[in-house]
């Protein structure tokens, strides 16, 4: 990301700032990693740039949540990134920004023409990225993010640990603008955008020569008010990360990016989900009936529009469909021991399963009646990656006998029917109550 001379200058500054009174210090052993290649990977598996008809500018390509930074030297989520006096807690905070001095890492706000705010150019052509932690959206300008959790020590200090970093939400958007080359210059192997591949092996238009780009797209550091002493350098709130990155040479923080990730860009023909039954109502069902093996059933319809050249399937460059439970429903399924080895589940359970008014011991299963296939629900890792087929919760988007409900030149719209069944969970007692479970339809190139 930055020339070596900057790091050497900052080492001198950090040493000169040494004091003998209480201060915030880097954790010991040092696990912070501000190096470009040490950034935590943002994983989506395959992402696809399709025709503007199926994927108009401004539409979401993919969304994921990075639950915790993956630091090369960290061996436990309880390790300390920083140690400070507890008395200083009101005056210290995280600081977040994009990688403002890299055109493909957070320098160019590219989404404006498409009605998008704070969406930055990536190394992938027609793909913009937006980062958010809690309610703070990342921009080039360093913003404050309050510290909400920490570990307390017997000596009156606190450890700000790996587990205390809030989850990072990352959304990729289709954008209409491209940046052929950047006048800012780039630290990537090619000063332009690629049309296929990944950050370790990317290809520009009309070339079979691969390039790499190890540049992060976002950073987190620790900062604070002027009354707090720091044993390391940090930047000022509101300053532009294009020219303000004191944290970088001081090992004060870490990055997120696409270099250490599974994310790979293709331009395959695809399908999109246009509509789905918003509410599936099972009505009332008696607990004794469910205990005897009965199920309450209801239909679920999904409308899918496909390029006529798209291939339905679960192999590379084919189009698959999956059903992703809400974050709460996935967490509850995990607590109930319902997740398979790859994170998928045979059951969708209530978002508020453990609340007093919620039914216990019941879940929802999904089936394709045309094929008789009992379907699994996606896990969090499956939804943010690709591959794994049916074991991971992916199924051919047009499997079975979907009904054609419309067409225009080059594209056909289908209605795909599924059957949802509310039934007893295995080895679990039933308790009466309400069931409210949420899942999202995902149609994705594999």
* Selection from 67, 12, 39 nearest residue 254 by Cα: 39
Q: Which residues of the chain have pLDDT under 50?
A: 2-21
Count the Cβ atoms, other than its own, within 10 Å of residue 203. Answer: 17
**Quick one: DSSP state of residue 52?**
T
Q: What is the pLDDT of residue 15?
A: 28
* CA atoms of 359 and 24, how far apart (whole Å): 48
Length in residues, the chain: 446
Q: Are 33 and 259 in contact (CB under 8 A)?
A: no
Q: What is the pLDDT of residue 404?
A: 97
Q: What is the pLDDT of residue 17?
A: 35
Spell 13-52 as b/e; 16+ CB within 10 A means b: ebeeeeeeeebbebbeeebbbbbbbbbbbbbbbbbbbbee
Cite the residue boundaries of each domain of the chain with CATH code 2.60.40.1090. Answer: 271-445
Instruction: Note the pTM of the prediction, 2 decimals.
Output: 0.84
Q: What is the pLDDT of residue 19?
A: 35
Cβ-in-10-Å burial (0-12, 13-18, 19+) of 246 comes to buried
Does domain 271-445 bear CATH number 2.60.40.1090? Answer: yes
Q: What is the pLDDT of residues 187-208, one digit of tens each?
A: 887 778 999 999 999 999 888 9
- Non-local (6+) Cβ contacts of 197 within 8 A are 203, 210, 264, 265
* Selection from 318, 302, 321 nearest residue 310 by Cα: 318
DSSP assignment of 238-276, as one string?
T-BTTT--HHHHTT--EEEESTTS--EEE----EEEEEE
* CA atoms of 299 and 81, how far apart (whole Å): 50
Q: What is the pLDDT of residue 383?
A: 61
* CA atoms of 54 and 59, how far apart (whole Å): 9
Cβ-in-10-Å burial (0-12, 13-18, 19+) of 274 comes to middle
Three-state DSSP at 315 gives coil
Q: Are 142 and 96 in contact (CB under 8 A)?
A: yes
Q: What is the pLDDT of residues 284-320, one digit of tens each?
A: 889 899 988 999 999 999 999 999 999 999 999 999 9
Is the previous residue joined to 29 through a cis bond, with omega within 30 degrees of 0?
A: yes
């Amino acid at each position: 990301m930055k020339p070596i001379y900057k790091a050497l200058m900052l080492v001198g500054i950090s040493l000169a700032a040494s004091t003998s009174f209480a201060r915030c210090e880097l954790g010991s052993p040092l696990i912070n990693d501000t190096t470009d290649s040490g950034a935590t990977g943002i994983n989506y598996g395959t992402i696809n740039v399709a025709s503007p008809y199926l994927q108009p500018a401004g539409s979401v390509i993919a969304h994921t949540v990075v639950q915790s930074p993956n630091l090369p030297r960290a061996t436990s989520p309880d390790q300390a990134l920083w140690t400070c006096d507890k008395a200083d807690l009101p005056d210290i905070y995280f600081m977040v920004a994009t990688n403002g001095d890299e055109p493909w890492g957070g320098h160019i706000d590219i989404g404006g023409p498409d009605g998008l705010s704070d969406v930055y150019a990536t190394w992938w052509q027609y793909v913009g990225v937006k980062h958010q932690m809690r309610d703070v959206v990342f921009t080039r300008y360093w913003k404050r993010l309050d510290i909400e959790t920490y570990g307390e020590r017997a000596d009156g200090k606190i450890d700000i640990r790996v587990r205390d970093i809030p989850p990072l939400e990352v959304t990729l958007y289709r954008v209409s603008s491209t940046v052929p080359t950047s006048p800012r210059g780039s630290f990537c192997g090619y000063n332009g955008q690629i049309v296929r591949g990944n950050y370790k092996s990317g290809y520009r238009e009309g070339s079979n020569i691969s390039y790499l780009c190890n540049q992060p797209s976002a950073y987190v550091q620790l900062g604070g008010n002027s009354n707090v002493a720091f044993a390391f350098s940090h930047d000022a709130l509101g300053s532009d990360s294009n020219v303000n990155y004191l944290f970088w040479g001081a090992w004060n923080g870490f990055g997120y990016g696409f270099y250490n990730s599974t994310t790979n860009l293709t331009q395959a023909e695809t399908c999109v989900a246009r509509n789905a039954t918003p509410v599936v109502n099972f009505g009332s069902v008696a607990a004794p009936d469910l205990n005897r093996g009965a199920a309450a059933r209801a239909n679920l319809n999904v409308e899918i529009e496909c390029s006529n050249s798209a291939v339905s399937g679960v192999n590379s460059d084919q189009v698959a469909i999956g059903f992703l439970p809400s974050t709460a429903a996935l967490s509850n399924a995990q607590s109930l021991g319902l997740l398979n080895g790859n994170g998928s589940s045979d059951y969708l359970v209530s978002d508020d399963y453990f609340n007093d008014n919620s039914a216990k011991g019941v879940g929802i299963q999904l089936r394709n009646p045309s094929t008789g296939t009992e379907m699994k629900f996606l896990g969090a890792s499956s939804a943010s990656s690709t591959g794994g087929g049916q074991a991971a919760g992916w199924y051919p988007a047009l499997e079975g006998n979907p009904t054609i409900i419309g067409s225009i030149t080059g594209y056909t719209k289908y209605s795909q029917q599924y059957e949802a069944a509310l039934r007893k969970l295995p080895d679990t007692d039933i308790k009466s109550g309400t069931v409210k479970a949420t899942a999202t339809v995902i149609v994705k190139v594999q």
